[in-house]
Amino acid sequence: MEENTSTTAPSNFIRDIINGDLETNKYEGRVHTRFPPEPNGYLHIGHAKSICLNFGIARDYNGLCNLRFDDTNPAKEEVEYVESIEEDVKWLGFDWDDRMYYASDYFNQLYNFAIQLINEGKAYVDSSTADETKDMRGTTTESGKESPNRNRSTEENLRLFMGMKDGEFEDGAHILRAKIDMSSPNMHMRDPVMYRIKRATHHRTGDRWCIYPMYDYAHPISDWIEGITHSICTLEFEIHRPLYDWFLKELHLENRPQQIEFARLNLSYTVMSKRKLLELVQEGFVSGWDDPRMPTICGLRRRGYTPESIRSFAEKIGVAKRDGMIDVALLEHTIREDLNKRAPRVMAVLKPLKVVITNYPDGKIEELDAINNPEDSSMGKRILPFSKEVYIEQDDFREVPPKKFYRLYPGNEVRLRYAYIIKCNEVIKNAEGEVTEIHCTYDPETKSGTGSTRSVKGTIHWVSAEHAIKAEARLYDRFFVTEDPLADKEKDFKDLINPSSLEMLSNCQIEPSLANVKAGEKFQFERQGYFCVDPLSTEGKIIFNRTVPLRDSWAKIEKKQ
Ligand code: ATP
Ligand code: MG
C-alpha cells in the first residue's frame, strides 16, 4: 500500500480506482477532485453526499478538492444561490482554501478551444431549426441523419461562429455542434450541441456573452483546466462519458481527468430535485428554502441537524454503482445518535395541563437537582424550581385510563421526575366538561435523590407553573404521504404532500433554565424528542423546532435484521 492510501473511511469502488491510479502513478500521485454545483437553487442532502465524497477523498489522500460553480446556464442562476452554497459547504465542515472557481471564468478559453475544433474540422455551425434538428436526431433504435450544414467549410464555420459570438444573429438561429457520428448508438455522440445563442444576463459576466457553452462541453474542459484527476458525478452521466473523453482527446489535452459515476442519493418520503424544491418554495407549500421540512442543507440545519450527523449519514450510506432508495429513518437515526451524546436534557411541557398539589405549602419553592445528560456526566447538573402548581402533559393524564396506562388518572400515583410521587384525587372541569385542572397530593417522603425507596410505575415530566416560560414548538411529520412521491409520473407530486406535516403548539411551558437560549441551540425535551431553537425566535417568543421524536424506528429495523 502507498503511504497516502491509508484512510479512516470505509473503502468503496471509487477509492479502489484511486488506489489503482496511485499504484500506476497515473497522475504523479496527485488526487484532485471538485464539487461542481450549478447555482440554480439551494443544496440538498443529495449534494451533501457528493460534498462528503469529494472533499472526503481529497482529505484522505492528501489531495485537493475545488469548489466550482457550474454556471453555464445564465437564465436560472443567481448570486443568492452562490452565497448559500458557500455557506452550506463550509457549515458541513469542508474547505476549498483559495480554490473557488466558476465555469464562467473559462468562457474565453472554451471559446478558443471551440475555434480550434472548428479549425480541425471537428465542430460546425448548424442553422437548422430546432424541429429539424430534433427530426434528424433519430431514435435509440434508428440512426440519425446528417444535417445539410454538416460539411460547411472551415471559413464559413468560423465566420458564423464568430458572428454568433458578436451578436449578429437571433437567439436560436444557429448552434455550434461537435462533428462526431450521427449513427452512433449513443445519442449523446450524435453531433451534440456545444454552444447556443442566448441573450440572457449572466450573474458574473453580465451581457458580455450572448453565446453560452453546454454542460457536456464545458465540464471536461473546466476539469482539465483545474487539474482535476477524478471527476466524480452521478450515474445519469455515465452515458455522457464517451463525450467527456472525446472533447479532451480531440483537443489533444494531456493529463486528462477521468469521470467516475456513482449512484445519487434518493431518500424515502423526500423529493430532491432542485427544480421540484423550487416549485415548493415558489408556490408557497413551504415557508422557504430553509423550511425545516425541506431536505435542503439549510432546512436540515434549521431543523436541528448537525454537520457531524450529516457527515456520518454520508459515510453510513456509502457509495454504490446502482441507484437505490435510502430509508429516511436512517437519517433520523443518525441525528439521534449524535444528539443523544451532546444535547442537554430539559423538561418542557408541550400541551400543558395544570396540577395543583393541595398539600404542598403555599409559597414554598424547592430547588431540585436535575442531571443534564445521563450519557455524559461532565455536562453536570442544573437546578429546577418546584412549587405548589406545576404543568404536566395533557397526554399524561386520562380520566378513564386505557390498559397499561401507568401515568396519571384518578386514584393513581406517578413520580414527577426529579421531584415527588403525587396522587390524583380530583379532576376539575369547565362548563363544557373539559378537564382544566387536576388536584393531587404529594408524598413528602419520596423526594428524589434522598434515598426514598418507594417506587411507582410511571415517571412524567413537568414544569413549575410559576417559573415556566411560555414557548412555541413546531412538530414535523413526513412531508409526503408516500415513500416515493415521484413514482407515479401521472400524478403531481404536490398532491402527495402530507397535510399535517407541521403542527404548531404555541402554548408550551418550558423550564426556566431555557430563558436565554440562542438560535441553533439543541436540547432533548425529556420524553418528547430533540428540539432546536429557531432563528426566528425573539426575546419575547422562543420557537423550538422538533428535529426528531425520541422513538427510533431505524434502531428497531436494525434489531430485526
Ligand atoms: P438536482 O437534480 O437536484 O437539481 P443536480 O445534479 O442538477 O441536482 P448540481 O448542482 O448539478 O445538481 O449538482 C452538483 C453535484 O452534486 C453534482 O456532481 C451532482 O452529481 C451531485 N448531486 C446532485 N444531486 C445528488 C444526489 N441526489 N446524490 C448525490 N449527488 C448528487
Ligand atoms: Mg444540474
> Which ligand 1 atom is at minimum distance from the Cα of 272?
3
Beta bridge partners of 503: 475
* Active-site option among 38, 86, 168, 521: 38
Cβ contact 510:452 at 8 Å: no
**Ligand 1 pocket residue status of 46, Cβ below 6 Å:** yes
For the four alpha carbons of 509, 511, 517 and 520, in that order, the dihedral sign comes to negative
**Ligand 1 pocket residue status of 233, Cβ below 6 Å:** yes
Q: Which ligand is nearest to the CA of 44?
A: 1
Residues in Cβ contact with 333 at an 8 Å cutoff, skipping those fewer than 6 apart: 552, 554, 555
Question: 512: which 3 cell numbers?
Answer: 426556566
Cβ contact 509:350 at 8 Å: no
Give yes or no on whether 274-344+471-560 and 348-461 have one common fold.
yes
Cβ contact 407:415 at 8 Å: no
Cβ contact 48:94 at 8 Å: no
User: Which is nearest to 541 in space by CA: 474, 443, 458?
Assistant: 474
Residue 165: active-site member? no
The residue type at 120: E
Cα 46 to averaged position of ligand 1 atoms, centre (Å): 7
Cα 401 to averaged position of ligand 2 atoms, centre (Å): 55
Cα 38 to averaged position of ligand 2 atoms, centre (Å): 6
Per-residue pLDDT at 137: 96
- pLDDT tens digit at each of 561 positions of the chain: 334 444 456 789 999 999 999 999 999 999 999 999 999 999 999 999 999 999 999 999 999 999 999 999 998 778 999 999 999 999 999 999 999 999 999 999 999 999 999 999 999 999 999 999 999 999 999 999 999 999 999 999 999 999 999 999 999 999 999 999 999 999 999 999 999 999 999 999 999 999 999 999 999 999 999 999 999 999 999 999 999 999 999 999 999 999 999 999 999 999 999 999 999 999 999 999 999 999 999 999 999 999 999 999 999 999 999 888 999 999 999 999 999 999 999 999 999 999 999 999 999 999 999 999 999 999 999 999 999 999 999 999 999 999 999 999 999 999 999 999 999 999 999 999 999 999 999 999 999 989 888 999 999 999 999 999 999 999 999 999 999 999 999 999 999 999 999 999 999 999 999 999 999 999 999 999 999 999 999 988 999 999 999 987 666 666 665
User: Which is nearest to 347 in space by CA: 513, 520, 133?
Assistant: 513
> Which ligand 1 atom is at minimum distance from the Cα of 234?
20
What is the rounded CA–CA span in Å between residue 39 and residue 76? 8
Residue 261: active-site member? no
What superfamily in CATH does domain 13-262 come from?
HUPs (3.40.50.620)
What 3-state class would DSSP assign to 502?
Answer: strand
Question: 126: which 3 cell numbers?
Answer: 448548424
What is the rounded CA–CA span in Å between residue 36 and residue 384? 51
In three-state form (DSSP H/G/I as H, E/B as E, the rest C), the secondary structure along 4-25 is HHCCCCCCCHHHHHHHHHHHCC
Beta bridge partners of 415: 421, 459
**Ligand 1 pocket residue status of 234, Cβ below 6 Å:** yes
Specify the residue for cell string 437519517.
331
User: Would strands 529-533 and 366-371 be described as parallel, antiparallel, or unpaired?
Assistant: unpaired
CA neighbours closer than 13 Å in the CB half-sphere of residue 225 = 19
Residues in Cβ contact with 542 at an 8 Å cutoff, skipping those fewer than 6 apart: 469, 471, 472, 510, 514, 517, 533
> Which ligand 1 atom is at minimum distance from the Cα of 40?
10
Fold type of domain 274-344+471-560: Ribosomal Protein L25; Chain P (2.40.240)
Question: 444: which 3 cell numbers?
Answer: 413528602
Segments making up each domain of the chain, as ranges: 13-262, 274-344+471-560, 348-461
> Which ligand 1 atom is at minimum distance from the Cα of 237?
20
CATH annotation of 348-461:
2.40.240.10
List Cβ<8 Å contacts ≥24 apart for 108-113: 109/221, 109/225, 110/213, 110/217, 110/218, 110/221, 111/165, 111/211, 113/221, 113/251
Residues in Cβ contact with 478 at an 8 Å cutoff, skipping those fewer than 6 apart: 269, 328, 498, 501
Per-residue pLDDT at 1: 36
Specify the residue for cell string 465524497.
53
* Active-site option among 49, 152, 274, 303: 274
List the 123-126 sheet strands across, edge first.
123-126, 175-178, 193-197, 211-213
Cα 48 to averaged position of ligand 2 atoms, centre (Å): 14
Backbone angles phi, psi at 79, to 5 degrees: -60, -35
Per-residue pLDDT at 4: 42
What is the pTM (predicted TM-score) of this model?
0.94
What 3-state class would DSSP assign to 442?
Answer: strand
Question: 326: which 3 cell numbers?
Answer: 435510502
Residues in Cβ contact with 259 at an 8 Å cutoff, skipping those fewer than 6 apart: 220, 231, 232, 233, 237, 240, 241, 244, 245
Backbone angles phi, psi at 525, to 5 degrees: -80, 120
What is the H or E stretch that residue 314 is in? helix 307-317
Residue 38: active-site member? yes
Rounded to a whole number of angstroms, the CA Rg of the chain reads 31
Cα 71 to averaged position of ligand 1 atoms, centre (Å): 14
